[in-house]
Amino acid sequence: MSKNSIFQLASYNIKRTMELDPAAKTKFEVLFIYPHIKALYHYRIAHHFWTRGHHLLARWISNRARHKTGIEIHPGAQIGKGLVIDHGMGVVIGETTIIGDDCQLYHGVTLGGRGSTDVKRHPTLEDGVYVGSGAKILGNITLGAHSKVGANAVVLEDVPAHATAVGLPARNIIKEGR
């Protein structure tokens, strides 16, 4: 997880978006048009207040960002640098979710909980994880570094590093030699 300023994080996110999205033509366009940039900016502000005990204000900021962008990020989530949420609409990131650096999510992804206790109940995504459109990652599970989840998969168990999870429920496909 990064301790950079909100502006350094935004700059890095814009750079990553330009690298990953061939439709992104200019940094200006990414900064002012791409909803995940706005959602992450508001998330960082809300997270600041959340970690200082100002939960109502944090949830209000988070709720406003959801209405503006269609991306719901709980202010209690922990998100590293370089998260790209392509298209974004319908993405939900739960309260105890942990997302490492340089991850990529597509529209309709849910990083959701299983259970209603006050313990870690949402997934952890290690660095470099890719999650396809409509995938549901549920519970206190870990997606290993540089793993991938196929579109519309439902993942209920850990995914090892460099593996790909597909299906309903998802099953792991592990390549030999990795």
Contact indicator for 49, 32 with CB cutoff of 8 Å: no
SS3 readout for 103-154: CEEECCCEEECCCCCCCCCCCEECCCCEECCCCEEECCCEECCCCEECCCCE
How far is C-alpha 45 from the chain's CA centre? 16
Given 54, 107, 146, 162, which residue is catalytic? 107
Length of the chain: 178
State yes or no: is 107 an active-site residue: yes
Q: Which are the catalytic amino acids?
A: 107
